[in-house]
Chain A
């Protein structure tokens, strides 16, 4: 097989499995005209779901940025017994099926949970589920960069009298920024589309805890595929922007 055949085969496969189906969603969303598309994405229930999705995902991205960087810092710079196990545990959310992630959080923070906290069917539950499934992104993006960081600049800053906070803000943070942004972008993208971990714990209450993916699911179930396609196109747009953003940040990082 020549390179042309191989290349053609992989493009054909990608087209059949991924591109044609996604194109079908975009085409269907405009089936009843642009007006119907607009009506579908501006219906009150859709607006509420989209707003909740975007706001919660932004909060999740912010918390991930802080906690992910902190955890990466502890894993790279700190030394304590059991550190390798902790390091392995970071990937657990990627390895656990999303429905199990929801079940897991419900077991502890749901009704009849042992800690006496019940967040089931609230927006906090949505936040918690998204924090769970997006945990590894920033940690795993920042960790290798932090490991490769030369200590000389930090030591120089400290010998010049800079405190640990100043050293972090002026020396470490700028070096980590591209990796943090990439991790945060992936986490945000994942949060916007997340479904499995939310469905059990959020209760899917319209106007309250219903996120965009759950709304789409409901619309498919009730046979409103055009409406579902319209909201999906919004989700696809977010996904595409995030991918382009990450590839832009990555390319700028390489150029330095």
Chain B
């Protein structure tokens, strides 16, 4: 579950140019048919009736509300996960304790659980007949936030932990020996060390938070103008047979995703991870 993208190195294969060409054609053909042409098609469909039509479709009041709700939810969920992620990675990297391996596996659960199951789980805890019944969670923004935190929880841990493990604790111990307090060590040594891992984790969490659909579909109640996020708005437009609206809102989401991807790739190239 990483956007690490290693490429290049290794000289091109010297043997059998026709076999090389065949393999290349198969790989590129597959990617074109499955990925590139379909994505291009959505852009084409969105702007088929002109840019103005597409713009109007994504600036209706419900579309705007959906957009801002999505951003708001991400702005709460991503920092929450960043804090949890750094704390957890720090404990996992620095201390041995019973159940550490179990904790390590449990952190990945959100990657493996179906989004619909996440939604159901939240209803069973916070819903009317749930364990902690509340009227302000399900069918409301807090429920959407909880669902989003759940599905994007592992990213920061998974990006920060390997960095901490690789660096070891020498520098932190040296700082502590020289009289630095816990927080000073964290701000001056730990945080600069994990800076890039944290950045990648935050970027990946943001992409996932903006794009979540299944879990949010279950807990939000899909109330237009109130609990409808941008992904839900796409489905809503599609089901209402407003295809231009669906494609246009889809393009907004696709652009957000592609931007995230581009930032990641640029950062990784700058920091030698490619």
Contacts and interface: CB of A to CB of B under 8 A. Distances in A.
A37 interface: no
A102 to B, nearest CB: 9
Contacts of B95: 3, 7
Contacts of A164: 15-16, 19
A17 B234 contact: no
Contacts of B160: none
Given A1-B182, A17-B146, A164-B16, A216 B120 contact: yes
Contact of B109 (A22, A70, A131): A22
B138 to A, nearest CB: 11
B213 interface: yes
Contact of B235 (A135, A200, A232): A200
Contact of A88 (B5, B39, B94, B111): B5
Contacts of B113: 22, 193, 235-236, 239
Nearest to B258: A95
Interface in A196-241: 196, 199-200, 212-214, 216-217, 220, 225, 228-229, 232, 235-236, 239-240
B42 A100 contact: yes
A213 B182 contact: no
Contact of A98 (B91, B94, B150, B211): B211
B218 A217 contact: yes
Contacts of A76: 6-7, 9-10
B194 interface: no
Most buried by A among B19, B36, B120: B120
Contacts of A97: 210-213, 231, 234, 253-254, 257
B41 A70 contact: no
B79 interface: no
Interface residues of B, number: 96
Contacts of B42: 100, 103-104, 107
Contacts of B55: none
A42 B212 CA distance: 30
A195 B213 contact: yes
A91 B39 CA distance: 13
A243 B109 contact: yes
Contacts of B262: 88
Query: Chain B's interface: helix, strand, loop or mixed, by majority?
Result: helix
A147 B10 contact: yes
Interface of A: 1-3, 6-7, 9-11, 13-14, 17-22, 24-25, 27-28, 67, 70-71, 73-80, 83-84, 86-100, 103-105, 107-109, 113-114, 128, 131-132, 135, 140, 143-144, 147, 151, 158, 164, 186, 189-190, 192-196, 199-200, 212-214, 216-217, 220, 225, 228-229, 232, 235-236, 239-240, 242-244, 247
24 contacts: A1-B182, A22-B121, A67-B30, A84-B7, A91-B261, A96-B253, A97-B210, A97-B231, A97-B254, A98-B231, A99-B211, A100-B254, A104-B250, A105-B38, A107-B44, A114-B41, A132-B34, A143-B7, A195-B114, A216-B116, A220-B116, A225-B120, A235-B114, A240-B109
The 7 A-B residue pairs with the shortest CB-CB distance, nearest first, are: A193-B114, A97-B211, A21-B121, A239-B112, A196-B213, A195-B214, A95-B257
Interface of B: 1-13, 15-16, 19-20, 23-24, 26-28, 30-31, 34-39, 41-42, 44-45, 84, 87-88, 90-91, 94-95, 97, 103, 105-125, 129-131, 146, 149-150, 153, 182, 207, 210-214, 217-218, 231, 234-235, 238, 246-247, 250, 253-254, 257-258, 260-262, 264-265
